[in-house]
Amino acid sequence: MSSMRIVSIGYLVAQTLNIAINPNFPRPLLYTLINAPYFIVCAVVATIILTLWQ
């Protein structure tokens, strides 16, 4: 189960960086460093809520 979490976190960070690398974002690495932890926390909170809801 823990390896799945590591893969999921890596996927979220990679997707955030992929979104940031376009002409509209002047500093893609800064965007990734700010937004990736937020997305990870939101995904964990959503997982906890859905798990407890069952």
Distance CA 38, CA 19 (A): 15
Distance CA 32, CA 6 (A): 17
pLDDT digits (tens, 9 = 90+) for 6-48: 667 778 888 888 888 888 888 888 988 888 888 888 888 888 8
Query: What is the domain count for the chain?
Result: 1
Q: What mean pLDDT value characterizes the chain?
A: 81
Cα separations in angstroms, 29 against 3, 19, 22, 49, 53: 25, 11, 12, 30, 36
The whole-number pLDDT of residue 13 equals 82
Distance CA 24, CA 6 (A): 29
How far apart, in Å, do the first and last CA atoms of the chain sit?
A: 19
Q: Is the pTM of this model over 0.85?
A: no
The whole-number pLDDT of residue 2 equals 58
Q: 28 lies in which domain range?
A: 2-53
